[in-house]
């Protein structure tokens, strides 16, 4: 039986940073495709327009990818526990943890984990020698 094939994105306007597949809880079938992508320049170069990126999840049936997170600066960790994908990520000075069902891509929780100190922090005491 021949299966129809689909592109993950409708055009070539995304620079793919990372792709990973996640299996179902029995680990026998791929449940979804995890993708980190950022828009590319319109001039045809493969240069990214921004440093932050978007995280998408897509089913294997050819449906349009679902945007899970935007404006992500860094993924610190990602872990699949059963059918729940956990991602620890940085957005600006915030470190957050999101939990997503890979069955229907619903967000179960999204919470702050830590706040990083800014680079403009003032030094309130200097060391004496």
pLDDT of the residue at 128: 34
pLDDT of the residue at 14: 79
pLDDT of the residue at 8: 66
pLDDT of the residue at 23: 80
Domain that holds residue 102: 14-115
126 is a domain residue: no
Q: Which of 65, 111, 72, 113 is nearest to 90 (CA)?
A: 72
120 is a domain residue: no
107 is a domain residue: yes
CA atoms within 13 A on the CB side of 35: 20
**In degrees to the nearest 10, what's the CA dihedral of 82, 106, 33, 13?**
-160
90 is a domain residue: yes
pLDDT of the residue at 129: 30
What does the alpha-carbon distance between residue 5 and residue 28 come to, in Å, rounded to a whole number?
A: 21
Residues of the chain with pLDDT under 70: 1-12, 25-27, 43-49, 118-129
């Amino acid at each position: 039986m021949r299966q129809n094939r689909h592109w993950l994105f409708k055009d070539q306007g995304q620079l793919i940073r990372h792709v990973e597949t996640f299996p179902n809880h029995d680990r026998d079938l791929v449940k979804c495709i995890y993708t980190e992508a950022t828009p590319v320049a319109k001039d045809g170069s493969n240069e990214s327009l921004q440093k932050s990126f978007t995280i998408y999840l897509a089913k294997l049936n050819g449906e349009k990818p679902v945007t899970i997170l935007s404006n992500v600066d860094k993924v610190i960790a990602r872990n699949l526990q059963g059918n729940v994908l956990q991602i620890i990520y940085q957005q600006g000075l915030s470190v957050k943890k999101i939990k997503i069902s890979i069955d229907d891509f619903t967000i179960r929780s999204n919470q702050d984990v830590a706040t990083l100190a800014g680079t403009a922090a003032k030094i309130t005491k200097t060391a004496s020698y």
